Amino acid sequence: GELGGSTRQEGPGEGCETRFEIIENGLKFLVDVNMGQKTGSFLDQRENHAAIASWCPGARVLDAFSYTGGFAIHAAAYGAKEVLGLDISETAVELARQNAALNGFGDRCIFRVANAFDELRRLEAAGECFDMVILDPPAFARNKRAVEGAFRGYKEINLRAIKLLRENGILVSCSCSYHITEELFMTIIWEAAADAGRQLRVIETRTQAKDHPVLLGVPETRYLKCAILQAL
């Protein structure tokens, strides 16, 4: 029927554009809000992306769960000579390649579709080593029951990452699982270092960007852990 001169139509409306270009820390990123995870970009990592800057010049960097290239492209922008990004999603890897090209780092950033657990082992077997390894995996523990399995998963990837680090190399290790507390997370990294036979020095422990506020009395709002450590 008609209402005030307008015609009512039922059914789905016209689709809108779902891919956008955003600027993060001065860098351009294509974001797909329809196909991507959550909002298509992990904005809670924005300040952590910038926090790696001082260790990047001249570095060989491995970003083991690279998604659309957030950490990897920041590393290239901050002077890394070579960046290898791994992600199990072909869609994410394709977008990461586009993002690298968009910022002029297509020659320094290589993105590969791979299972990080398998690829870290393969890189170690091939004798590869890096000045920086970044671990920003998806949540391994979505509830309390999953904590034990998550502990093993986080320990395994941190162990593999530490084994790939050169002397004085930098490990950037993240967890977005609220059920993995900061204390437990640091214990996992310490155990991984012990198994790898390496001593780690904590440079900084960080959380989500300030525009993702932590509310007192609501502990699940403090969910993101980002540890920056040096492997001696």
Task: List residues with catalytic annotation.
Answer: 176
46 alpha-carbon distance from chain centroid: 10
- Separation of alpha carbons 105 and 99, rounded Å: 9
Tokens standing for 67? 């998604």
Distance from C-alpha of 43 to C-alpha of 205, rounded to nearest angstrom: 18
CA distance 7 to 159: 63
For the packed helices 90-102 and 70-77, what is the interaxial angle rounded to 10 degrees? 20
Contacts of 82 (CB under 8 A, 6+ apart): 60, 61, 108, 110
Q: DSSP letters along 78-145, please?
A: TT-SEEEEEES-HHHHHHHHHHHHHTT-TTTEEEEE--HHHHHHHHHHTT--EEEEEE-PPPS-SSGG
Start-to-end C-alpha separation, the chain: 74
As a whole number of angstroms, the distance between CA 229 and CA 132 comes to 10
Residue 50, both tokens: 């910038």
